[in-house]
Amino acid sequence: VLYYERYHPLEDIYHWINKTTHDHPEMVEVILIGSSFEKRPLFVLKLSGKGRSQSKRAMWIDCGIHAREWISPAFCIWFVHYAITYYSKVPDITEILDSMDVYVLPVMNPDGYKYTWTTNRMWRKNRSWHPGNYCPGTDLNRNFDANWCTEGSSSRACDETYCGLFPESEPESEAVANFLRSHKQTLKLYLSIHSYSQMLLFPFSCTYQEASNHDELNELAQEAAQNIRRYYRNNYRYGAGAKTIYLAPGGSDDWAYNLGIKYSFTFELQDRGRYGFLLPPEFIPKACKEALTGLKTIALGVIKKT
């Protein structure tokens, strides 16, 4: 089977990042945004079509915040390959790349991802140790400064939703937050890829309050879910995070939204629980195609609006 239809160990992904940037210098640039707790590099790929100006709009996609959600890095890799292969051949991806630079972080939590390959397939958090804690690991999606460490996350280090010592206490979340802060003028769309449960979520997850542009976000998510249903006969639920799944403060999507990136989404990819995090590789193509449909629908919608 093809490279894109398998899951890959971390070293392979680093190699793929290297090869992809070398093979496509006209479209792909690699940016080092920081390093993980265990000092692994955090590489972002910047994809651009024609039109390079300082003020060009941009979108961000991160994958692999949670270590065990293997379909997520697989999607980022799939997406980059798709963009490179079909730019200037397929109209919608061409329009997206001509209108926006696309920043892709394939693995935001490399230490945790590595750990799921070597030691514990079901690990979720990063692998940081903090003085006085009995357990390693902070949930990176509870470590951002959005109602940080309130109900829906835990202050106990051994829990799966441990919020960390303080907002951005983790080098991985700090690196992402710093990058987003320094690009907030151009960033129009934030997208975070997770699994599983098949949902398209938008702010807020850190409070039951509605986002100021709730209706607009809801329409974009609805349109994306409709297209997924039409083309792939699969159902995705959508809505504000807190009301659709649960209250979960400290997430990257809410934080990016509050920073001013008013189109902010978290996708939960396949499946709905049959295999859960252990989605067999045969499902990668369909899971990625669905997510790509959702991404395109929302990105094209945002391009029209901004």
> Which residues does the annotation mark as catalytic?
268
Q: Is 241 in the site for ligand 0X9 (CB under 6 A)?
A: yes
Q: Restricting to residues 30-69, name those near Zn ion by CB under 5 A.
A: 66
> Quick one: 138 or 266, whose CB is closer to ligand 0X9?
266
| CB of 145 or CB of 254, closer to ligand 0X9 | 254
Site for ligand 0X9 contains 153 (CB under 6 A): no
8 binds Zn ion (CB under 5 A): no
CA nearest to 220, candidates 259, 272, 267, 254: 267
CB 142, min distance to ligand 0X9, A: 7
Distance of closest approach, residue 72 Cβ to ligand 0X9, in angstroms: 8
H helices of the chain, where?
10-23, 71-86, 91-99, 110-118, 171-182, 214-232, 241-244, 252-259, 284-305
Tokens of 88: 């200037």
Among 62, 170, 254, 290, binds ligand 0X9 (CB under 6 A): 254
- 170 is a site residue for ligand 0X9 (CB under 6 A): no
Q: Which of 116, 126, 266, 293 binds ligand 0X9 (CB under 6 A)?
A: 266
Give me the least distance between CB of 49 and ligand 0X9, in Å please.
30
Minimal distance in Å, beta carbon 189 to Zn ion?
19
Q: How far is the CB of 195 from Zn ion (least distance, A)?
A: 7
62 binds, among Zn ion, ligand 0X9, none (CB under 5 to 8 A by kind): none
Cβ(193)–Cβ(79) below 8 Å: no
Query: 298 near 263, Cβ under 8 Å?
Result: yes
User: How far apart are the C-alpha atoms of 64 and 179, rounded to whole Å?
Assistant: 17
Cα 253–Cα 256–Cα 258 angle in degrees, nearest 5: 110
Residue where the block lists tokens 């039109």: 51
Neighbours of 273 (CB within 10 A): 8
Nearest residue by C-beta to ligand 0X9? 251
What is the C-alpha to C-alpha distance for residues 6 and 23, in angstroms, rounded to an integer? 21
Q: Which of 137, 251, 294, 301 binds ligand 0X9 (CB under 6 A)?
A: 251
* CB nearer ligand 0X9, residue 101 or residue 124: 124
Q: For ligand 0X9, give the closer residue by CB, 71 or 175.
A: 71
Q: What are phi and psi of 70, to 5 degrees?
A: -60, -25
Helix 71-86 with 91-99: angle, nearest 10 deg: 100
Rounded Cα–Cα distance for residues 43 and 19 (Å): 13
Question: Of the listed pieces 47-55, 81-89, 181-189, 245-253, which binds ligand 0X9 according to CB under 6 A?
Answer: 245-253
Instruction: Name the one residue in this structure whose structure tokens are 């959702």.
Output: 294
* 40 versus 66: smaller Cβ distance to Zn ion: 66
Strand order in the sheet with 28-35: 28-35, 41-47, 100-105, 57-63, 187-195, 263-269, 199-202, 237-240
- What's the CA gap between 246 and 304, in Å, rounded? 31
Site of interaction with Zn ion (CB under 5 A): 66, 194
Site of interaction with ligand 0X9 (CB under 6 A): 66, 69, 141, 194, 201, 205, 241, 248, 251, 253-254, 266, 268
